[in-house]
């Protein structure tokens, strides 16, 4: 297999002996993943990314599947397979479809990725708390609404609340100034967590 014309001859081209090494590097520094129609490797990368997002082994990032403009069916048929075979047999849940988006143009993909980072900045876990960092704050009434709408992904008796940087974050100079939501996340429903992030970005 040869490099594609976009990267061929580029000093940034890296050749891997083992494909699993390539996938680790593929996701390690990624802020988003955009996938075009391709062969087994493309499908492998799609499923690897989906699995890591679904299980929370990778922080939430945009995963955008880009079909050919107009009548492209590659990813649409892939999604149909997921619904008719995996979801129908309860191997995955309907909320797992929140983990990715399907579009038919590069412009639409850029728009979805940009929207994901409109307010959301990053997240980290501190003990059993999930800390969501935001580029701009939200108000108390919105937080109350989040508590009502997303109680299903909170630990029993848990809540979502506004916060400044926690003591464990004080030395993180790049993010200490950011607004925060802290939540008692149940560490299971990552598709619903993605929906919560989308709501934060739409606020």
Mean pLDDT of 183-188: 97
d(CA 169, CA 164): 10
d(CA 124, CA 116): 17
| Cβ–Cβ under 8 Å, residues 178 and 133 | yes
Kindly state the helix (H) or strand (E) to which residue 125 belongs, with its residue range: strand 120-126
pLDDT higher for 5 or 106?
106
pLDDT higher for 195 or 17?
195
Q: What percent of the chain has pLDDT over 70?
A: 100
| Cβ–Cβ under 8 Å, residues 130 and 183 | yes
Does 135 score more than 90 pLDDT? Answer: yes
Q: How many CB atoms lie within 10 A of CB 114?
A: 12
| pLDDT for the residue 56 | 96
Q: 25 vs 43, 118, 124, CA distance in Å?
A: 17, 26, 20
Domains, the chain:
19-116 (3.40.50.450), 120-202 (no CATH)
What 3 state SS string does 130-169 have? EEEEECCCCCHHHHHHHHHHCHHHECCCCCEEEECCCHHH
pTM: 0.91
Q: What is the pLDDT of residues 19-75, one digit of tens each?
A: 888 888 889 889 999 999 999 999 999 999 999 999 999 999 999 999 999 899 999
| pLDDT for the residue 139 | 97
């Amino acid at each position: 297999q040869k490099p594609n014309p976009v990267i061929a001859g580029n000093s940034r081209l890296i050749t891997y002996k083992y494909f699993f090494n390539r996938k680790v590097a593929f996701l390690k520094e990624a802020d988003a993943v955009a996938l075009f129609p391709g062969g087994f490797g493309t499908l492998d990368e799609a499923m690897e990314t989906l699995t890591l997002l679904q299980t929370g082994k990778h922080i939430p990032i945009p995963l955008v599947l880009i079909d050919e403009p107009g009548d492209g069916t590659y990813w649409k048929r892939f999604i149909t397979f997921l619904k008719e075979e995996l979801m129908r047999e309860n191997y995955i849940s309907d909320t797992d479809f929140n983990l990715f988006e399907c579009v038919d143009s590069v412009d639409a993909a850029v728009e979805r990725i940009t929207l994901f980072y409109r307010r959301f900045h990053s997240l980290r876990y501190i003990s059993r708390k999930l800390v969501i960092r935001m580029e701009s704050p939200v108000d108390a009434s919105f937080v109350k609404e989040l508590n009502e709408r997303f109680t299903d992904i909170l630990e029993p008796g848990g809540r979502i609340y506004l916060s400044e940087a926690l003591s464990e974050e004080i030395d993180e100079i790049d993010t200490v100034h950011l607004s925060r939501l802290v939540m008692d996340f149940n560490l299971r429903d990552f598709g619903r967590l993605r929906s919560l992030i989308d709501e934060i970005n739409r606020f």
